């Protein structure tokens, strides 16, 4: 998601990830209805509201109750009708689609926001000591603490390997289970120390922080991020009016793979066997791809905001 936006009254907002390209691919026009399904600190929403030029509607969705100050700031400055719906974006989008709510543009900026990472008490970061939490919605269950202390070794291995693409998933899961038998995990540093002790010494000094992949896996599991994405994409497309556009920013290969496959399936027409001389299925493409390959941030953007380095943008238009 985007860098922290408007953290203090009067401060200049940071530019959200891939901001210019999001605006270019969504092509918002005055009078449109736009859905920012992952509001966060409101950086993209602010720019999309500017594109509406005083005419239209912006629907903001987020499960995190701490977005309220950013939402209040946007409402005071946007100059357009801003509606806020609190909840998991997959649930909210599905409800809107079921009620035939139409929209001209949908943005999904996936993953954790800087607003959440930078609040130490939320427990998202492996770089600072904090309570093990990682919930985007602080009222939801489970927390990272519950997963680490109660899930069995096989399930921990699965999520570390599947969601974190962690090479030493089994060794780390085994170490976690052994450690919690003596003392439960309460804080992020306890987990970081256990991870470091479980992997070979050379791996501690390899690509990035040794706890990075496990923390990613836990965050995805805590917030059901991949399941939410798989449910949200068809709902978002169902809401789009003909000619409406969807843009998705992902931050790791698991998310990007889901988006890539969904867009490719939606852009596919006839599914008849190639040996048939004519089409009998009658299937028409639902989407037209605007990005054949994911768009990455420029070196200049990454230099200004290192957290943008793994961002990938894909976009499509509804046929």
Q: What pLDDT does residue 12 have?
A: 40
Question: pLDDT per residue over 181-196, tens digit each?
Answer: 999 999 999 999 999 9
Choosing from 198, 223, 248, the residue where a domain stops is 223
How many structural domains are present in the chain? 2
> Between 43-52 and 19-26, two packed helices, what is the crossing angle to 10 degrees?
40
Q: What pLDDT does residue 276 have?
A: 86
Q: Categorise residue 123: left if φ over 0, alpha if ψ from -120 to 50, beta otherwise.
A: left
Q: What pLDDT does residue 272 have?
A: 85
In whole angstroms, give the CA distance from residue 277 to residue 283. 15
For residues 163 and 204, membership in a common domain is answered with yes
Is residue 220 pLDDT above 50, yes or no? yes
In whole angstroms, give the CA distance from residue 295 to residue 105. 18
Q: Are 29 and 308 in contact (CB under 8 A)?
A: no
Average pLDDT over residues 52-71: 94
Is residue 14 pLDDT above 80, yes or no? no
Provide the CATH number for the domain around residue 205.
1.10.150.170
Q: Is residue 192 part of a domain?
A: yes
Question: pLDDT per residue over 142-184, tens digit each?
Answer: 999 999 999 999 999 999 999 999 999 999 999 999 999 999 9
Choosing from 179, 201, 223, the residue where a domain stops is 223
In whole angstroms, give the CA distance from residue 152 to residue 222. 15
Provide the CATH number for the domain around residue 234.
3.40.50.150
For residues 251 and 191, membership in a common domain is answered with no
Average pLDDT over residues 222-247: 97
Q: Three-state SS for 228?
A: helix
Question: pLDDT per residue over 104-145, tens digit each?
Answer: 999 999 988 766 777 878 888 899 999 999 999 999 999 999
For residues 211 and 230, membership in a common domain is answered with no
Within 8 A by CB and 6+ apart from 199, the residues are 168, 171, 172, 210
| Structural domain boundaries, residue 39 | 19-115+225-318
Q: Is the peptide bond before 36 cis (omega within 30 degrees of 0)?
A: no
Q: Three-state SS for 291?
A: coil
> If pLDDT is split at 50, 70 and 90, which confidence band does 9 have?
very low
Average pLDDT over residues 74-102: 96
Q: What pLDDT does residue 112 have?
A: 80
DSSP secondary structure letter of residue 292:
S
In whole angstroms, give the CA distance from residue 110 to residue 184. 31
For residues 202 and 268, membership in a common domain is answered with no
> If pLDDT is split at 50, 70 and 90, which confidence band does 4 have?
very low
pLDDT-above-90 percentage for the chain:
81
- Continuous H helices in the chain: 19-26, 43-52, 68-78, 89-98, 114-117, 144-150, 153-162, 169-182, 188-198, 212-223, 225-239, 253-266, 299-304
DSSP secondary structure letter of residue 308:
G
For the chain, give me the number of helices (H) and strands (E)?
A: 13, 7
Q: Is residue 57 part of a domain?
A: yes
Q: What pLDDT does residue 15 have?
A: 64
Q: What pLDDT does residue 111 have?
A: 82
For residues 152 and 106, membership in a common domain is answered with no
Average pLDDT over residues 285-290: 97
Q: Are 239 and 101 in contact (CB under 8 A)?
A: yes
In whole angstroms, give the CA distance from residue 29 to residue 154. 50
Reported as type and span, the H/E element at residue 39 is: none
> If pLDDT is split at 50, 70 and 90, which confidence band does 10 have?
very low
């Amino acid at each position: 998601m985007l860098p922290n936006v408007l953290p203090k009254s009067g401060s200049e907002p940071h530019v959200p990830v891939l901001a210019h390209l999001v605006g270019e691919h969504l092509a918002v026009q005055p009078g449109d209805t736009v859905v920012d399904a992952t509001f966060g600190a409101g950086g993209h929403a602010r720019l999309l509201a500017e594109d509406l030029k005083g005419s239209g509607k912006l629907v903001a969705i987020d499960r995190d109750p701490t977005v309220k100050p950013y939402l209040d700031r946007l409402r005071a400055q946007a100059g357009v009708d801003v509606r806020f719906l609190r909840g998991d974006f997959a649930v909210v989008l599905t409800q809107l689609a079921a009620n035939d709510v139409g929209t001209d543009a949908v943005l999904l900026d996936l993953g954790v926001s800087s607003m959440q990472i930078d609040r130490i008490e939320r427990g998202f970061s492996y770089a600072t000591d904090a309570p093990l939490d990682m919930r985007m919605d602080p009222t939801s269950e489970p927390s990272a603490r519950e997963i680490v202390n109660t899930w069995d070794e096989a399930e921990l291995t699965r999520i570390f390997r599947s969601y974190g693409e962690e090479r030493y998933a089994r060794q780390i899961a085994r170490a976690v289970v052994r450690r919690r038998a003596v003392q439960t995990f309460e804080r992020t540093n306890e987990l970081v120390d256990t991870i470091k002790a479980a992997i070979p010494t050379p791996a501690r000094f390899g690509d990035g922080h040794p706890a990075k992949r496990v923390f990613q896996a836990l965050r995805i599991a805590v917030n059901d991020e991949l399941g939410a994405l798989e449910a949200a994409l068809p709902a978002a497309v169902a809401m789009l009016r003909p000619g409406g556009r969807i843009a998705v920013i992902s931050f790791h290969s698991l998310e990007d793979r889901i988006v890539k496959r969904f867009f490719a399936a939606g852009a596919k027409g006839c599914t008849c066997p190639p040996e048939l001389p004519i089409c009998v299925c009658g299937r028409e493409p639902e989407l037209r791809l605007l990005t054949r390959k994911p768009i990455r941030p420029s070196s200049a953007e990454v230099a200004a905001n290192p957290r943008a380095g793994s961002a990938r943008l894909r976009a499509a238009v509804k046929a």
